[in-house]
């Protein structure tokens, strides 16, 4: 069978590959501490589980509208008002099969062959793969600790060409858990808007970010760029990875194209998941989300302290999500070697920087602290023994 050039060009997602190796070790009776996959160990909030059971009462659960259940689109729009102080019309909300499908739909709606899309390095790998599948060329802009491993307006300006059509930012980022400061993101969006380019801001970890000194949550990019495309999901904040439900908020002009594409690509996102997800936006479930955000911050402190003690520096401490990106340069191993040996010799699954770009690919490793405190303590202890044996 002839496999398309497009499919052949897609790289594997190494986090998943290391996850598979970890599963194989476990199948052979080893106990592995899995800090490689960005999946919260808490499931959906209890009220959402109850709602799901209720929905499974034998009713037909037919397709919903391609853009999503109207009640869910309204609930999401209200959430922007309540949580982020931005007015979003429900007609601009598109409910999707995870943020992943929102990224696919947005790329399908926006990208033509030959377009250039600016993305920071390191960054979430699937974004690159998705826009390249639609024929775009990705301008991967190296970032450093000085800009929190994120794009800034100066680097976006410097990488701009006459073919640049869009900029993609995830804030907080996967793999670093670091955010673009609000003023900087506003400047990036302004620059791109003035040049007629689209801005896609992936806010999947926004609600898992630290609050400011006055206890205020970070703002959605929509508060300073109402025409940005903003992507989000039920996967992380609500702990619903396997439910495959997410959304994006798009400018009015993009809605018809998104609807046509959604009708053809997916028909709709999972109907039972959509019905149950209505219970995410109750005060009870939002309180669960907030407690988890605080819990993640505590786990982060434990991990940062542990990595510091065992000699694995974290150049920029995260301010959200559940990742730290640490530097293995001083160990004399590449990040790939470090991850392979940490898995085989210490039974700890991590993700090498190669997943996230080229610039820090060999020197940095991502650790996901979306695991229980006990697992994190065990993982750090094992890495400590591994580091001691290395030196």
The residues facing 118 across adjacent strands are 139, 167
Binding-site ranges for ligand PLP (CB under 6 A): 38, 98-100, 124, 170, 174, 202, 204, 233, 235, 241, 246
Q: Is the Cβ–Cβ distance between 361 and 143 less than 8 Å? A: no
Q: Give the residue with the Cβ less far from ligand PLP, 171 or 285.
A: 171
Shortest CB 13 distance to ligand PLP, Å = 9
Shortest CB 65 distance to ligand PLP, Å = 20
State the angle between helix axes of 283-309 and 46-55 in degrees (0 to 180), rounded to the nearest 10: 130
HEC secondary structure over the chain: CCCCHHHHHCCCCHHHHHHHHHHHHHHCCCCCEECCCCCCCCCCCHHHHHHHHHHCCCCCCCCCCCCCCHHHHHHHHHHHHHHHCCCCCHHHEEEECHHHHHHHHHHHHHCCCCCEEEEEECCCHHHHHHHHHCCCEEEEEECCHHHCCCCCHHHHHHHCCCCEEEEEEECCCCCCCCCCCHHHHHHHHHHHHHCCCEEEEECCCHHHECCCCCCCCCCCHHHCCCCCEEEEECCCCCCCHHHCCEEEECCHHHHHHHHHHHHHHCCCCCHHHHHHHHHHHCHHHHHHHHHHHHHHHHHHHHHHHHHHHCCCCCCCCCCECCEEEEECHHHCCCHHHHHHHHHHHHCEECEEHHHHCCCCCCCEEEEECCCCHHHHHHHHHHHHHHHHHHC
Shortest CB 245 distance to ligand PLP, Å = 8
Q: Give the residue with the Cβ less far from ligand PLP, 86 or 170.
A: 170
Q: Give the residue with the Cβ less far from ligand PLP, 359 or 382.
A: 359
Q: Is the Cβ–Cβ distance between 199 and 215 less than 8 Å? A: no
Residue closest to ligand PLP, measured at CB: 98
Q: Give the residue with the Cβ less far from ligand PLP, 129 or 235.
A: 235
Q: Give the residue with the Cβ less far from ligand PLP, 209 or 235.
A: 235
For 63, residues 6+ apart whose C-beta sits below 8 A from its C-beta are 267, 268, 271
Shortest CB 58 distance to ligand PLP, Å = 29
Shortest CB 174 distance to ligand PLP, Å = 4
Shortest CB 40 distance to ligand PLP, Å = 11
Q: Give the residue with the Cβ less far from ligand PLP, 155 or 241.
A: 241
Q: Give the residue with the Cβ less far from ligand PLP, 289 or 347.
A: 289
Shortest CB 193 distance to ligand PLP, Å = 22
Q: Is the Cβ–Cβ distance between 124 and 138 less than 8 Å? A: no
Q: Give the residue with the Cβ less far from ligand PLP, 233 or 285.
A: 233
Distance of alpha carbon 134 from alpha carbon 116, whole angstroms: 11
Shortest CB 176 distance to ligand PLP, Å = 11
Q: Give the residue with the Cβ less far from ligand PLP, 38 or 68.
A: 38
Q: Give the residue with the Cβ less far from ligand PLP, 231 or 376.
A: 231
Shortest CB 233 distance to ligand PLP, Å = 3
Shortest CB 68 distance to ligand PLP, Å = 14
């Amino acid at each position: 069978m002839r496999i398309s050039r497009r499919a052949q060009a897609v790289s594997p997602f190494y986090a998943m590959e290391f996850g598979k190796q970890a599963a194989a070790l476990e199948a052979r009776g080893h106990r592995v501490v899995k800090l490689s996959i960005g999946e919260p160990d808490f499931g959906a909030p209890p009220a959402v589980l109850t709602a799901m059971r209720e929905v499974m009462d034998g009713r037909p659960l037919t397709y919903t509208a391609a853009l999503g259940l109207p009640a869910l689109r309204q609930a999401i729009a209200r959430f922007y008002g309540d949580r982020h102080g931005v007015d979003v019309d429900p007609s601009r909300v598109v409910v999707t099969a995870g943020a992943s499908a929102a990224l696919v739909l947005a790329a399908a709606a926006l990208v033509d062959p030959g377009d250039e899309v600016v993305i920071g390095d390191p960054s979430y790998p699937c974004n690159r793969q998705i826009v390249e599948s639609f024929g775009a060329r990705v301008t991967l802009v190296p970032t450093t600790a000085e800009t929190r491993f994120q794009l800034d307006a100066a680097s976006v300006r410097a990488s701009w060409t006459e073919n640049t059509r869009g900029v993609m930012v995830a804030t907080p980022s996967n793999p670093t858990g670091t955010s673009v400061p609000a003023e900087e993101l506003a400047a990036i969006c302004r620059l791109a808007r003035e040049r007629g380019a689209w801005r896609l801001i992936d806010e999947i970890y926004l609600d898992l970010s630290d609050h400011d000194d006055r206890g205020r949550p970070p703002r959605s990019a929509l508060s300073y760029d109402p025409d940005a495309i903003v992507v989000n999901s039920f996967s992380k904040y609500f702990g619903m990875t396997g439910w495959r439900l997410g959304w994006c908020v798009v400018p009015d002009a993009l809605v018809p194209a998104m609807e046509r594409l959604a009708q053809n690509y997916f028909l709709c996102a999972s109907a039972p998941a959509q019905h149950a997800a209505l219970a995410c936006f109750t005060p009870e479930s939002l309180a669960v989300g907030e407690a988890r955000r605080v819990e993640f911050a505590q786990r982060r402190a434990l991990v940062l302290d542990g990595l510091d003690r065992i000699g694995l520096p974290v150049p920029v401490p995260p301010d959200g999500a559940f990742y730290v990106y640490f530097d293995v340069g001083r160990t004399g191993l590449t990040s790939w070697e470090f991850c392979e040996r940490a898995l085989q010799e210490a039974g700890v699954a991590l993700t090498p920087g190669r997943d996230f770009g080229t610039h820090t690919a060999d020197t940095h490793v991502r650790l996901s602290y979306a695991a229980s405190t006990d697992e994190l303590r065990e993982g750090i202890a094992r890495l400590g023994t591994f580091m001691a044996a290395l030196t």
